[in-house]
Amino acid sequence: MIDPLNRKIIGWKISTRTDQALVNDALVNDALAAALATRCKPSGLILQTGRGSQYCSESFMALVKKYGVLSSVSRKGNCWNNAAAESFFATFKKRTIFGKPIATRNGQRQQVFDFIEIYYNRVCRHSTNGWVTPVEFERLITKTWRQALSINLTRSKFKTRRDVTTEPLTCRWLRIDCSDLEFEG
């Protein structure tokens, strides 16, 4: 699962099973659960998927409904909504699979982890992010949101911490913890 705002991979799973239908359903469900866990189940989330059977399965639709996620599927022949995922997999194949056989399952798992969590999210720069990494872009946008929130709170009628809810504020894709903001008075 890719966050379209910053191109960060936020949910992924791999499997050793070859039962295609069962594996696809389980992998997609596990990846969605992992993505939601990293984003603290934000409200108003729209999940853009392909037209594959795993995204139409009863178990996937039940999971989407359970978390209150709005499912969106492209029209037949409309591939633009999936361009970020296609780009990711092209880069993944070029940098990990082609010409680099790995003999063990643990080696394969480590290779996938290294590519996603170390290279793609923390080293690979993206033009859509102004040529910064997904992790750096997320840090910058979070800092900007926190600064804007802090300015708005200090200029508003809220003067003390008890005037503001202690619940983290959530926008479409970002959870902001306001517990350490400074207040007047």
pLDDT digits (tens, 9 = 90+) for 33-61: 888 887 766 677 788 787 777 777 888 88
Could you tell me the pLDDT band of residue 23, with boundaries at 50, 70 and 90? low
Region 15-32 average pLDDT:
69
Residue 120 pLDDT: 95
Q: pLDDT > 90: what percent of the chain?
A: 16
Report pLDDT for 22. Answer: 57
Whole-prediction pTM: 0.70
pLDDT at 29: 80
pLDDT of residue 136: 94
Q: What is the pLDDT of residue 37?
A: 81
Q: Give the chain's radius of gyration (CA, Å).
A: 19
Q: What is the pLDDT of residue 151?
A: 61
Task: Work out the pLDDT band at 143, boundaries 50, 70, 90.
Answer: confident
SS3 content of the chain, % helix, strand, coil (to 5): 50, 10, 40
The closest of 2, 4, 38 to 128, measured between CA atoms, is 4
84 versus 173: the higher-pLDDT residue is 84
Name, in order, each residue with C-beta under 8 angstroms of 25's C-beta and a sequence gap of 6 or more. Answer: 54, 57, 59, 60
Residue 138 has pLDDT above 80, yes or no: yes
